[in-house]
A and B are shown apart, each in its own frame.
Chain A
Amino acid sequence: MASRPSALLAALAALLLAAPAGANRAEHKPVAARPVMDYVPPPAGSYTLQVIQQAPDGQVVGRDGLQHRLSDYTRGRITLLSLIYTYCSEPTGCALAYEAGVEVKQRIVADKRLHGRAQFVSLSFDPINDTHDAMRAYGSAHAASGGPLPWQFLTTRSMRALQPILEGFGQDIEVERDAQGRATRTITHMLKLFLIDRRGRVREIYTTEFLHPEAMLNDIRTLVMEEDAQR
């Protein structure tokens, strides 16, 4: 993996050239097809989520435009973190993550026992085009710093700040190129959402086929029950 950081930096540098800041933002487009869920998930608390890895830390930019530690947003509560970019046009990509997040949020808001126990983070992997203003606009309908479910829309100051976070999460991205080899505005990435416990440990990872809001909510409830049992 020695070559990965430099390759990533190069890819993102190409992206900067291809996508000038201030370019039009895509609306939250409806997803093309939701992943099928044809089962009743096991009851919350009847299973144990694996401790997959420690969530990485790093410098991020919050809605106030100031730098913060990512861990400020991924500790102390159960965190659902997604890596996205605001102008993603793939209906089975970022839009699907956003929609799943909204659905899980609605279920959490409807369950007072979960208020204050969880938080969401959407972190951009385009530090240049996705400024903190762009992220604020992107998440305007759901961004919240408090309330029953805080939802932070974060970015980073630079590629160097972003790179160790992506590496730490194992989030692979590539900038697509056109027939002439020029970087396009499309970033190919495997959609991943990370469920992180209050100690900063990744306990589940959802890719497209596993974006089942009912099961995701059960996972959050399972971690809540685990926390309560340890108190």
Chain B
Amino acid sequence: MKQFPHARQSAIAAALALAFAGAASADETCNSPYTTRLIKGQEGYVHVWTLGAEGVGDGSDKLVTIDAHPKSKSYGKVVHTLSVGGRGEAHHMGFTDDRKHLWAGGLDNSKIHVFDVGTNPAKPKLVRTIADLPAKTGFVGPHTFYALPGRMMVQALSNNKDHGGATGIAVYNNKGAFVAKYDMPTGDLGGVKGDGYGYDLAINPRKNVLLTSSFTGWNNYMMDMGKMVNDGEAMKRFGTTMAAWDLKAMKPKQIFSVPGSPLEIRWSLNPKDNWAVTATALTSKIWLIKPDGKGGWQAKDVATIGDPSKIPLPVDISIAANGKGLWVNTFMDGMTRYFDLSNPEAPKEIYTKKTGKQVNMVSQSWDGKRVYITSSLLANWDKKGEDNEQFLALYHWNGKELTEQWRVDFNKEKLGRAHHMKFSAKGGKQT
């Protein structure tokens, strides 16, 4: 990979403020809540979907499993790695409804690897590779994996015609067979025109609503960052919308203008709440999606993340189980930020800590006491040279301060780029 001098990197960072995204999602509170066996006590293992890096170990994408149980002799250590062969831009994962299998996607090769993590979470096994997404749907870049009963919704990022941002949602059953596809909206709904882009999705069955967000296509997320930021046309090709769908009918009902590439979507899991939040990468904002009082939904800019003029680049977010707090990682400055969400109409940033030279994913335990952080965004967008830290770190959160417990150096361990995280319980039993 081409190495950029520091000044060049700064320029890239500045340009990124005008474009980009590519974050990811994780953690116990971001699982589809229709996944059984949520871990509400101590997690036993953290599975990290890791991008292979040239010259690092075997160079292949792999599922890395780390012991996360404090009473274990191997606490904080890598206990298992499982390479899938080759590099396909490993990115996100999602559990099936029974939490027995973990689906993990490649944004470049569009393959979906299905790991058995239920039989023995200490030693996941690759049981299936689904390679027909482009052929069945015309979509490429499987990003979000979101469990529905007996099946998996897969939000793609791009398409196999022009590799731009127009894409859609695929549905597979739990056995890996294709079920259905749905294009992202491009028409006018409620006075806003859809851009056809996709990124994340999340549902609320009480309201029969599915929310979707928007990022960019293969042409951009696989492009070298330096090249992309100097390509004016490429920089225009980022999502600016969210959509609310009728979940049962799988039909888009409303489109919202949400400038700046809205990424991760998190519904409050508090039974009393009926709202979700997202963060926009380019404009560094938190948006609230809530009922509009007329039977529909509205999207509202409610907070600023850091100082947008300094290009913090918010990526992953993690919501507290009670809906009262939100972790936000900002990639460029390596900051982990905590927002008080007690009033979702006016979130307040109340804590900030530098947790790495680059940070992407943030995953909290159900009880909010443990916060895991990883480093990689996209292979061609990660920082270069010494700034290219790759790690999984555990912090404890006492409500006032993050305290680092351990850190696994993925470069030193010759593993690759640490990306998405999911938890398993010891022995497969929830605690």
Chain A residues packing against B (C-beta within 8 Å): 1, 3-4, 7, 35-39, 41-42, 46-47, 50-53, 170, 172, 190, 192, 202, 205-207, 209-210, 215
Q: Known A47-B248, A209-B205; judge A38-B274 contact (CB<8 A).
A: yes
| Interface CB pairs A-B, < 8 A, 21 | A1-B116, A1-B127, A3-B119, A35-B206, A38-B206, A42-B246, A42-B248, A42-B251, A47-B246, A47-B249, A50-B179, A53-B173, A170-B174, A170-B175, A172-B36, A192-B149, A192-B150, A206-B149, A207-B97, A209-B206, A215-B208
Chain A residues with CB under 8 A of B206? 35-39, 209
Q: Does B290 contact A (CB under 8 A)?
A: no
Docked Cα-Cα span, A4 to B97, in Å, equals: 16
In the complex, which of the residues B116, B179, B250, B274 contacts A51, with contact meaning CB atoms closer than 8 Å?
B179
Name which of A37, A41, A42 has the most chain B CB atoms within 10 A of its CB.
Answer: A42
In the complex, which of the residues B119, B148, B150, B250 contacts A202, with contact meaning CB atoms closer than 8 Å?
B150
Chain B residues packing against A (C-beta within 8 Å): 33-34, 36, 97-98, 100, 116, 119, 127, 148-151, 171, 173-175, 177, 179-180, 205-209, 246, 248-251, 271, 274
Name which of A35, A202, A209 has the most chain B CB atoms within 10 A of its CB.
Answer: A209
Chain A residues with CB under 8 A of B116? 1
Contact across chains for A209 and B249 when beta carbons are under 8 A apart: no
Contact across chains for A47 and B250 when beta carbons are under 8 A apart: yes
In the complex, which of the residues B36, B98, B150, B251 contacts A53, with contact meaning CB atoms closer than 8 Å?
B150
Docked Cα-Cα span, A209 to B36, in Å, equals: 11
Chain A residues with CB under 8 A of B127? 1
Docked Cα-Cα span, A170 to B36, in Å, equals: 13
Given A190-B36, A207-B34, 12 new contacts (CB under 8 A) = A1-B116, A7-B119, A36-B206, A41-B248, A42-B251, A46-B249, A170-B98, A170-B150, A190-B97, A192-B149, A206-B149, A207-B97
Q: Known A50-B179, A52-B173; judge A39-B208 contact (CB<8 A).
A: yes
In the complex, which of the residues B151, B248, B249, B250 contacts A52, with contact meaning CB atoms closer than 8 Å?
B151
Docked Cα-Cα span, A215 to B206, in Å, equals: 11
Closest A residue to B208 using CB positions:
A39
Contact across chains for B207 and A172 when beta carbons are under 8 A apart: no
Chain B residues with CB under 8 A of A192? 149-150
Closest B residue to A209 using CB positions:
B205
Q: Known A1-B116, A42-B248, A172-B100; judge A210-B149 contact (CB<8 A).
A: yes
Chain A residues with CB under 8 A of B251? 42, 47
Docked Cα-Cα span, A39 to B205, in Å, equals: 9
Chain B residues with CB under 8 A of A207? 34, 36, 97, 149
Contact across chains for A205 and B150 when beta carbons are under 8 A apart: yes
Contact across chains for A52 and B179 when beta carbons are under 8 A apart: yes
Docked Cα-Cα span, A104 to B162, in Å, equals: 48
Distance in angstroms from B218 CB to nearest chain A CB is 27
Distance in angstroms from B297 CB to nearest chain A CB is 12
Docked Cα-Cα span, A39 to B210, in Å, equals: 13
Contact across chains for B177 and A53 when beta carbons are under 8 A apart: yes
Contact across chains for B119 and A205 when beta carbons are under 8 A apart: no
Docked Cα-Cα span, A50 to B177, in Å, equals: 12
Docked Cα-Cα span, A82 to B239, in Å, equals: 42
Distance in angstroms from A14 CB to nearest chain B CB is 15
A-B residue pairs, 9 tightest by C-beta: A47-B249, A205-B149, A205-B150, A39-B208, A172-B98, A190-B36, A207-B149, A42-B249, A36-B206
Docked Cα-Cα span, A50 to B150, in Å, equals: 12
Chain A residues with CB under 8 A of B177? 53
Distance in angstroms from B175 CB to nearest chain A CB is 7
Contact across chains for B207 and A52 when beta carbons are under 8 A apart: no
Closest A residue to B179 using CB positions:
A50
Docked Cα-Cα span, A202 to B33, in Å, equals: 22
Name which of B150, B249, B251 has the most chain A CB atoms within 10 A of its CB.
Answer: B150
Chain A residues with CB under 8 A of B271? 36
Docked Cα-Cα span, A207 to B271, in Å, equals: 17
Docked Cα-Cα span, A207 to B151, in Å, equals: 12
Chain B residues with CB under 8 A of A41? 208, 248
Contact across chains for A190 and B98 when beta carbons are under 8 A apart: yes
Chain A residues with CB under 8 A of B179? 50-52
Docked Cα-Cα span, A15 to B330, in Å, equals: 50
Contact across chains for B149 and A50 when beta carbons are under 8 A apart: no
